[in-house]
Amino acid sequence: MIEILTGISISYSAQIGSDFYIGHFGGIIINASAVIGNNCNISQGVTIGVSGRGEKRGVPIIGNNVYMGANAVIVGRIEIGDNSVIAANSLVVNNVEPNTTVMGVPAIVINNNTSKDYI
């Protein structure tokens, strides 16, 4: 019922840290095996899910203080470092180092700005 009313699908088994902030209504999907750190900010349309083949198949581990922009897709057995920014409409399929901003399809590092002003 909650998924229908809010457009947000978060499994009870997803591991989500404290101070998790959902900025806008709708279209958010978080896989049941996802791990999300403390003080993260997620925008509308974000998908955190399973992808990959063989040893790369899995679900992301997202660090602390991560900002995920609108319609970002973060998939596969990858790690998103603390204080990172995932720009809107980005497809993240590789690890993201701490304290960086990634953008694009597939996402690449565009600078070393942190999430400080986003969180």
Return the closest-CA partner of residue 85 out of 107, 58, 53.
107
Q: Give the active site residues.
A: 24
Contacting residues for 87 by C-beta, under 8 A, at least 6 apart: 69, 72, 101, 102, 103, 104, 107, 110
Q: What angle do CA 77, 11, 54 make, to 5 degrees?
A: 25
Is the bond preceding 106 in cis, omega lying within 30 degrees of 0? Answer: yes
